[in-house]
Structure 1
Amino acid sequence: MGATTGRCMCGAVRFTAGQIGDYGICHCDACRRWTGSALHAVTVPEAEMRIDAGGDAIGTIRSSGWASRSFCTRCGAPLWYRLDHGTDGAGDFEVAIGLLERVEVPLEREIFVDRKPDCYEIAGDHPRLTEEETWARFGPKSADA
């Protein structure tokens, strides 16, 4: 998919995603607490992300030794998760899909499915990785932990 624009709820933070990658859903405890549900996100390579407005309204917290999460400091909307391996401001962006103006990508996977509440299911034929499978495939290496 080509470039698309996005913004937070109040519009203070605006950005352009030059390229959209995989769409995935994360059910881990941290994502559920951060968003109030599962994180639905698309990957935007670091070199393909441009902040168009509101850079001063982006707050970032280090949520683990290997990742950070950003949000709008004005409206509180979650913006993106970055697997940065402990280096602030590094790594591809996992952008909350609801922020984007136009998204036309299929769901590639769900991760941490054994952490998902039992009250809903995501339809479709796609990989569903357990916590153990997710860590094995995407988790930080021992030096990152």
Structure 2
Amino acid sequence: MTKTIEFKGRCLCGAVAFEGAAPDEPVSSCHCKQCRQWGSGPFDAYSVPLANLKFTSGEDAIKFYESSEFARRGFCSKCGSSLFWHADRHPDWKDRIAIAVGTLEQPTGLTAGPHIFCAAKADYHEIKDSRPQYAGED
């Protein structure tokens, strides 16, 4: 039986709030250049089916930046909090959204998963845990 995680989250100022329930999947830590530039470090994300994400306030405060030919990054237009990564134009990912785990209320019940795009990690960043590491998205 698959465990379900119930989550609630919000941006720093509270203008955007959301909740949902989704299958328990490990948090991935992305070290790609775009994620590093966006949040000054790896982007820790919990990927959920888009249909499982419900906004309780502030959906109109979310702005998206088209960061690549297939994905966009969502942030709060009031406080600037990084909220989501959504590959809305990628056939395998368009129905899922990656939530920035730092926005979620504790305890999350989530577990740490793989490091991805490690070939692009910052030269000052040392990965010292035993989680799987992938050079690309493998």
1:102-133 deviations in Å (ceiling 9; x for gaps): 312221101111211232333432210103xx
The aligned residue for residue 13 of structure 2 is: 10
The aligned residue for residue 122 of structure 1 is: 127
CA distance in 1, matches of 2:52, 2:128: 30
Higher relative helix content: 1
Equivalent residue for 1:40, pick from 40, 44, 47: 44
Q: Which runs of 4+ in 1 moved over 4 A?
A: none
1:76-100 deviations in Å (ceiling 9; x for gaps): 000000122269xx43111111100
The one-letter amino acid paired with 1:104 is G
Asked if residue 96 in structure 1 is aligned to residue 100 in structure 2, the reply is yes
Identity over aligned pairs, percent: 33
Q: Give the TM-score of the pair, scaled to structure 2.
A: 0.86
Displacement of 1:22: 2.6
| Structure 1 vs Structure 2 CA RMSD | 1.7
Q: How many residues matched?
A: 131
Higher relative strand content: 2
CA distance in 2, matches of 1:38, 1:9: 19
The aligned residue for residue 115 of structure 2 is: 110
CA distance in 2, matches of 1:117, 1:91: 30
- 1:22 touches 1:42 (CA, 8 Å); kept in 2? yes
The one-letter amino acid paired with 2:9 is G
